[in-house]
Structure 1
């Protein structure tokens, strides 16, 4: 059997590790069509199917997992050996972040940054998974939400995460108007939040946590959508719920904001510390974060 081309093996490994053809193609500076062709060619040469395709992306078949297990150490070693010789383009900046953070916070502000730095090309890669900077050298930095504990990376605090109860206008009307006090929310239909923060809310404002919730959710986006549909009151992450509030789909039921132990951060590996494009973005990002935090009070 002829040896499979190296570029096809690299493309296969990138897709298998990311679980997403679009993201893998972007990391390799290919089109999705070109990467798909590489994978099909590799499958034909090996005589096996390497991926199962689904609505959320791709995942390796058992044959694909065996192939990745065998070739990954060799590709990693080759990449590590060549890394010192790889040229870096400081006018190209690639940032990984969650889609919700991109759409509701970064993108509405990004036009101003690009106008100030027309020489820069900014690539945003949307993903809910934490990027592995060692395995994805094409990614320069990331915006993350968490407790700020990512060993081996440079971690810079941007602003804290705050929560507030929100409800749809229809639910507020159904309940006869806004609650008279924050503690009165105990008598409203409440949506269980992913972080179980309602206990902290009632500990601050007074009142007892209800014995049951209308429904529980394991992610904020679905919980926000349920609140929009009038199912109940969500203890919303205000960064991610901003557009829903601005468009009138959700209404804050209190001026109080509950701080969590989660916050938003800029993180990047030491190799990016002198990236000229990132340095410019970093300064601008901190300025935007300070302004946002000041408005939140």
Structure 2
């Protein structure tokens, strides 16, 4: 068997990590067709199927996983060895972030940055996968939601987040509006414990013994609320566009501070990237404005007499 070309192995490793041929092709500066051709050629050379392809992306087969485990460290070592000889372009900035944060917060604001800095090209890599900046040296920085400490990375605090019960207008019309005390009688999305326990402890009421459904990511949780499955304890940064569009309603003025906050993170190698410096300055201004608007909402809520949601509710009925 002839030796597989290095570029084919690089494309294979990139596709395996991203689980998406479009993103992998972009990172390799290829078309999706060219990358698919490389992978098919590699599969033919090895006589093994490396990926299972579906509408959602690509997943490694058992043979593909075995090849990845053996090859990826060597591809990474080559990439790291070549890195000092590659010129960094200060006018091209690659940012990784969660798809939900990209669509709900960054993208609506991004035209202002591009208008102020037309010379900078922004590449957004929307992925839920954790990025290894030491290996993925084509990525300059990331926007992350977390505790604020990531080993080997500089973390710049942007703003805190808040959570509050949100419901679809249709479900609200059908069930009526709960009070803080009766909220636990309504269909809730989540799981026993966690932030719901913190909510009931701080604002009163009794948590239900059974929740309608639980989800392991915020985007799916908020989508379930939009579809009328139940009331979600939604993160306001992500639900605000849905509320403004009339797809969700925030039930109370009360807010519970989220466990984590939003940060800009980057490795030491990106410290002097001029494009990142400009993006960081702009991002901090946008974050400050957003945080100020959130503080105004909280201030208005705390200034209201009594507790919000105290009007009598219609008898709550469980969603079927």
Same fold (TM over 0.5): yes
Is residue 192–residue 209 contact of structure 2 (8 Å, CA) maintained in 1? no
1:194 Cα deviation after fit = 9.5
State the partner residue of 2:109. 109
Over aligned residue pairs, what C-alpha RMSD do you find?
Answer: 1.6
State the partner residue of 2:303. none
Query: 1: distance between equivalents of 2:47 and 2:93?
Result: 39
Query: 2: distance between equivalents of 1:3 and 1:211?
Result: 61
Secondary structure, aligned partner of 2:181: helix
Query: 1: distance between equivalents of 2:152 and 2:115?
Result: 33
State the partner residue of 1:260. 258
Pick one of 172, 185, 203 that aligns with 1:205.
203
Deviations 1:129-163 (A, max 9, x none): 11111111111011111112210001111111210
Compared CA separation, residues 68 and 175, structure 1 to 2 (3 A): closer
TM (normalized to structure 1)?
0.94
Aligned length: 295
State the partner residue of 2:309. none
TM (normalized to structure 2)?
0.88
Give matches, 1:1-297, under 5 Å: 1-176=1-176, 178-179=177-178, 181-192=179-190, 196-297=194-295
Query: 2: distance between equivalents of 1:93 and 1:47?
Result: 39
Compared CA separation, residues 190 and 274, structure 1 to 2 (3 A): same
Compared CA separation, residues 50 and 175, structure 1 to 2 (3 A): closer
Structure 2, unmatched stretches of 5+, are 296-320
Query: 1: distance between equivalents of 2:80 and 2:6?
Result: 16
Is residue 97–residue 143 contact of structure 1 (8 Å, CA) maintained in 2? yes
State the partner residue of 2:316. none
Moved over 4 A (4+): none
1:107 Cα deviation after fit = 0.5
Secondary structure, aligned partner of 2:182: helix
Secondary structure, aligned partner of 2:272: coil
Bigger shift: residues 127-136 or 215-224: 215-224
Bigger shift: residues 203-212 or 129-138: 203-212
